Amino acid sequence: NNEEEEEEEEEEDEEEEEEAEGTLIQDHTETDLVSLRRTIYLTIMSSLNFEEAGHKLNQIRLEAGQEMELCVMILGCCTEERTYRSFYGHLAQRFCLRGKAYRECFENLFVQHYATVHRLDTNKLRSVAMFFAHLLATDALPWHVLAIVRLTEEDTTSSSRIFVKIIFQELSEQLGMRALNEKLQDPTMEKNLESIFPKDNPKNTRFSINFFTSIGLGGITEKLRQLLAKRNSTFASSDTLS
């Protein structure tokens, strides 16, 4: 019996030691993350321009999977400014072009921020929209990320509509209306943009046309207008025949 009790005690001691080690590793990891974020923050804040910031950030040794920490900090610093600074867009662009891991992190951040855009105050919403508009305009971010935007009355809020408005106005400003139109009408883009320029039913098509017209970008809805006119004439013809 004594031997059994001693074995049980030894097992309990081993379990406690393992738990303690696990806690230590966890604490150590969290401390490392806080330290990493602080280093990234101070590096960004002490840089005179985005080239300097990019160069210094490149020298920080990141472990695999820590790319997201860097991307979150870049966007976080951007939203802490009172107004949008192109410094952050250029810095993020630099990392997107540096490697797929960073690009995918910023794609994920776009999805996350669009889903929670209603939680952002006006200034932060504007900064986030302009930040991502820069990445799209420079092709640092693939345009298929826009597929998550479903531009209908039911699927948008006032916040998400403002977000989409700023992105497209900024794209028009940076690319010019003609280049923007060409980009949107690229056959490879059509599938990804069906949710923004819906053709599924006339109500949604009209909503998209009215939305872009109201923000001064009616020119990019020409295809939708033609589709709607064609549908209306088809209905008119069938009414006449009946």
Better-predicted residue by pLDDT, 15 or 85: 85
Q: What is the pLDDT of residues 56-108, one digit of tens each?
A: 999 998 888 899 999 999 999 999 999 999 999 999 999 999 999 999 999 99
Cα dihedral across residues 184, 188, 189, 193: positive or negative = positive
pLDDT averaged over every residue in the chain: 88
Looking at the whole model, is its pTM more than 0.85?
Answer: no
Q: What is the pLDDT of residues 119-167, one digit of tens each?
A: 999 999 999 999 999 999 999 999 999 999 999 999 999 999 999 999 9
Q: What's the first-to-final CA gap in the chain, in angstroms?
A: 97
Q: Hey, what long-range contacts does 62-69 have (CB within 8 A, 24 or more apart)?
A: 62/36, 66/36, 67/99, 67/101, 67/102, 67/105, 68/105, 68/108, 69/33, 69/36, 69/37, 69/40
Better-predicted residue by pLDDT, 25 or 232: 232
Structure tokens at 40: 């990234």
Cα dihedral across residues 168, 169, 173, 179: positive or negative = positive
Mean pLDDT, residues 31-43 taken together: 91
* pLDDT tier at 29, thresholds 50, 70, 90: confident
* pLDDT tier at 36, thresholds 50, 70, 90: very high
* pLDDT tier at 11, thresholds 50, 70, 90: low
| pLDDT score of 242 more than 50 | no
* pLDDT tier at 230, thresholds 50, 70, 90: confident
| pLDDT score of 231 more than 90 | no
Predicted local confidence at residue 241, as pLDDT: 46
Q: How far is CA 154 from CA 87, 151, 198, 225, 227, in A?
A: 36, 8, 13, 21, 22
Burial state string for 154-180 with b = 16 or more CB within 10 A and e = fewer than 16: eebeebbbbbbbbbbbbbbeebeeeeb
